[in-house]
Chains A and B, each alone.
Chain A
Amino acid sequence: MRIGLFVTCLTDTLFPDTGKAVVTVLERLGHQVDFPAGQACCGQMHFNTGYRREAVPMARGFVTAFGGFEAVVTPSASCASMVREYYPALAAEAGDPGLARAVAEVAPRTHELSEFLADVLGVTDVGGYFPHRVTYHPSCHSLRMLKVGDAPLRLLRAVRGLDLADLPDAEACCGFGGTFAVKNPDVSAAICADKVTAVRRSGAEVLCAADNSCLMHIGGALDRQRSGVAVMHLAEILARTDGQSR
């Protein structure tokens, strides 16, 4: 299958290893991965903060870059849900029938990595080896918008050597919320503090999630506390075959 990788602006800029890991996993499964250079940001931050008008050109850029791919795969449940859940409304609002048609074509074929692997390809064992104690934070948009269910956990359970630890109160939000973390920093930090406590109680060496945004948030607090717990995107764990945790 010819797959377009939508790496997302955050992962592109700050976490390139996640993008490389997605390429590794998909190519290991025998697929052809392309990175259309015309891609930029999906516009979620602008849309969710109220700058809908500014998000419209970003949606246009996305559908232009990814038109024609059999599937678009992204290592972010949050960005995938922006495309699938909100692009249709955004296109309608912009009064742009061409954009609406392009969205109707591209959005349903856009998938977050774990749902693409487990539900579209039907693969749970991607050949990973990662002999570490890992706990998984189901990000809100993966859980309640995309409803990926236990796809990430099925993938993690199939990784050889991996010891999956329960995360207490796993479905609770981490308090990131995009610009919420900056507009309401006190509340965001208070929510994050409870997530960090839960992560530390799990006894895991590595916290894993399907969104680098949440991991940047929780990881930032774990690092500030010098907790010694590393954060890794799901793709990076699935890509590992050498047993290293960093």
Chain B
Amino acid sequence: MVKNITIFTTNTCAYCQMVKKYLGAKGMSYEEVNLDEHPHRQAEAMALSGAMTVPVTVVTKQDDSRDIIVGYNLAKLAPAVA
């Protein structure tokens, strides 16, 4: 079971829009961290993902385990939020 979801995004990132659309279509709520508005949180996104890219989606489960999905990757995102 999903406890909460955080997505790191930027204003111009089309793949970020797709993650948001996908979660929206599933009726799932999420917290968005826009790195254009909060550039000081870039390091956090990089530390979580190991990459310099967005979107980074952090799915926290009820047992506090986490799935971190880099990019718009349905093969990983769909089971993580199922």
The reply to whether chain A is a binding partner of chain B is: no
Binding site for B on A (CB under 8 A): none
